[in-house]
Amino acid sequence: MVDDTNPVEVLDERECWELLELAPMGRIALAAGGEIDIFPLNFAVHDGALWFRTAPGTKLVELTVNPDVALEIDGWDAGEAFSVVVKGIAERLEHGAEIDEAERLPLTPWVPTLKYRWVRIRPRRVSGRRFRRAPEPERF
């Protein structure tokens, strides 16, 4: 619990998954060729993994070179903020049964472009924190 004596609370894995299921979007961090990239994306939580759609391009190339990824979500209100990080392996879906399963997920691209490639992130580690926010300074 976040309070005056403990402004940071470590979330258990169940709480992290609950926040992930409610998140409309996150940011995925990829590292290939010695450079780190971060991309916003929307995703679905299904069967203990995170699923997203993408188009051919930088993300898919980087995932092919190095499938280790991190995905982060966050949120806040006037009193608290939270952050959840998922570290795992990204797998481009290639088989018909996996793609059929993905197509049944309630996930449509936010950007009206063709995104017909599916990727699943299998988590290795899920962690999160909730923070008590400092009061906003008064403005004169």
CATH number of the domain encompassing residue 90 = 2.30.110.10
- CA-based nearest residue to 1, from 79, 71, 75, 72: 79
Residue 1 confidence class, pLDDT cut points 50, 70, 90: low
Does some domain include residue 138? no
What pLDDT shows up at residue 3?
A: 62
82 φ/ψ angles, rounded to the nearest 5 degrees: -145, 160
Residue 24 confidence class, pLDDT cut points 50, 70, 90: confident
The larger pLDDT score, comparing residue 3 to residue 17, is at: 17
Whether residue 2 has pLDDT greater than 60: no
The larger pLDDT score, comparing residue 99 to residue 127, is at: 127
* pTM listed for this prediction: 0.87
Whether the CB-CB separation of 86 and 70 falls below 8 Å is answered with: yes
In terms of residue numbers, what domain contains 120?
A: 8-132
| Count of domains for the chain | 1
Q: CA-CA distance, 44 to 67, in Å (whole number)?
A: 19
Does some domain include residue 3? no
